[in-house]
Amino acid sequence: MVIMITSKQSHAGDPFFTSRGALPKVVENDEASFKTKLGKKVKSFKDALFVVEATGGYERQIVKWLQANDLDVAIVNPKQVRHFAKGIGHDAKTDPIDAKVIAKFGEVVQPEPKAIPCSESEKLDALVTRRKQLLDLINQESNRLKQAYGSEVKEMIRESLESLKNQKKALEKRIKKAVAADKKNARKIEICESVDGVGKVTVATLMSDLPELGQLNRAEIAKLVGIAPIDRDSGTKSRKRLTQGGRSYIRKVLYMATLVATRRNPVIQVYYQRLLAKGKLKKVALVAAMRKLITTLNYLVKTDQLWEPPDSFKQERGAA
């Protein structure tokens, strides 16, 4: 069962379960409409997987309502769905067509249902999302300041930047408190914070945007973040491997954490310096260090153990 969300409406596509009675094809995207138009009818879909395309937050209301009614919901990446549509010959794009394509995508791919978040996790998600927005706004205003003409306009942009940066500082304090209050992920948080170079903001981002941490193997977690080298060979040609795709915001936060780790984490520091000594470009070495850091975190969470530097590094610390 698929529901495709727009800002004002939800479009249902139901090509596989017509024997159970049809759901309304269009429903207003609010809880009152869900209750009125879907309330009784969804009971016949208890064993179905509802597939919802991510739409920048518009999907949250229907996802929350479906989960409250004990229904399994999977949120899928719209880019993957679009590629899937082209792959099966659906170039046209309308809301009813998209709904049917998402349904077919769900049938073929069988995405995992989204876990029901606790209130602490929801609060942390909201704070992390707001931090992303503030970073984007700060970047936009910084770029405008470089291009602005006239002292009055520049002063206004500087005031705006100062306000945004103050909001970011205040928000990061709230994020630290939210991380400490997250009882559901307490052990996972403890493990991540035990690794030198991994701070509260990085931990909050991992808890919010990478719930798969500890559930995948090293290759899968690296690919999910977008730091796994992808082969691009064809015939006798062997091209340089690239890292691409994945969750960009996690990659940005992990990049900053890795910069710190190359100075404060003895394992990452030695690994990074060894790659540079081999002649690797700094950017290539740093991406490799990012991959080592996230795979280390993934392994620690999976095996439920705190990070400790190897004995050789402990001895060096003691000597220092």
Question: Same domain, yes or no, for 315 and 208?
Answer: yes
287-305 residue pLDDT tens: 999 999 999 999 999 999 9
Q: Are residues 30 and 69 in the same domain?
A: yes
My answer on whether 179 and 222 are in the same domain is: no
The pLDDT of residue 23 is 55
Q: Do 160 and 57 sit in the same domain of this protein? A: no
For residues 265 and 42, the model is more confident at: 265
Same domain, yes or no: 11 and 103: yes
User: What six digits make up the tokens of 255?
Assistant: 């990049």
Tell me the two tokens of residue 287: 């991406």
Residue 319 burial class via C-beta count within 10 angstroms: exposed 0-12, middle 13-18, buried 19 and up: exposed
Q: Is pLDDT of 146 > 50? A: yes
Identify the CATH number of the domain in which residue 146 sits.
1.20.58
User: What local confidence, expressed as pLDDT, does residue 16 receive?
Assistant: 36
User: Is residue 191 included in any domain, yes or no?
Assistant: no
Position 234 scores a pLDDT of 66
Contacts of 192 (CB under 8 A, 6+ apart): 198, 202, 203, 206, 297, 300, 301
Total number of domains constituting the chain? 3
3-state secondary structure the chain: CEEEECCCEEEEECCCCHHHCCCCCEEECCHHHHHHHHCCHHHHHCCCEEEEECCCCCCHHHHHHHHHCCCEEEEECHHHHHHHHHHCCCCCCCHHHHHHHHHHHHHHHCCCCCCCCCHHHHHHHHHHHHHHHHHHHHHHHHHHHHHCCCHHHHHHHHHHHHHHHHHHHHHHHHHHHHHHHCCCCHHHHHHHHCCCCCCHHHHHHHHHHCCCCCCCCHHHHHHHHCCCEECCCECCECCCCEECCCCHHHHHHHHHHHHHHHHHCHHHHHHHHHHHHCCCCHHHHHHHHHHHHHHHHHHHHHHCCCCCCCHHHHHHHHHC
Structural domain of 94: 2-109
Residue 192 lies in a domain: no
Q: Quote the pLDDT of residue 97.
A: 81
| pLDDT reading at 19 higher than 50 | no
- Tell me: the pLDDT tens digits for 86-114? 998 888 888 778 878 888 888 888 888 87
Mean pLDDT of 241-270: 86
The backbone region for 182, taken as left when phi is positive above 0, alpha when psi lies in -120 to 50, beta otherwise, is beta
102 versus 316: the higher-pLDDT residue is 102
Q: Are 97 and 139 found together in one domain?
A: no
Q: How far apart are CA 25 and CA 19, in angstroms?
A: 16
| Inter-residue contact 263 to 269 (CB < 8 Å) | yes
Residue 257 is assigned to a structural domain of this protein: yes
Query: Do 172 and 226 fall into the same domain?
Result: no
Let me know if residue 189 belongs to a domain.
no
Residue that wins the pLDDT comparison between 70 and 190: 190
Is the domain of 101 the same as that of 149?
no
* Domain identity same for 134 and 27: no
Q: Same domain for 75 and 159? A: no
Is residue 317 predicted with pLDDT exceeding 70?
A: no
At 305, list the tokens: 């153990």
- Cα 11 to Cα 68, 79, 201, 264, 279, distances in angstroms: 20, 18, 37, 51, 54
Quick check: is 49 in a domain? Answer: yes
Same domain, 69 and 144: no
Q: Is 301 within the bounds of a domain?
A: yes
Domain boundary among 49, 82, 109: 109
pTM over 0.95: no
Is residue 273 one of the residues assigned to a domain? yes
Q: Are residues 232 and 303 in the same domain?
A: yes
pLDDT value for 18: 35
Burial of residue 1 (CB within 10 Å: 0-12, 13-18, 19+) is buried
In 10 A of CB 12, how many CB atoms?
A: 21
Spatial contact of 157 and 141, defined as CB atoms under 8 Å apart: yes
Please report, to the nearest 10 degrees, the dihedral formed by the alpha carbons of residues 185, 191, 195, 201 taken in order.
Answer: 10
Last residue of a domain, one of 109, 142, 165: 109
190 part of a folded domain:
no
Domain limit, last residue, from 72, 91, 109? 109
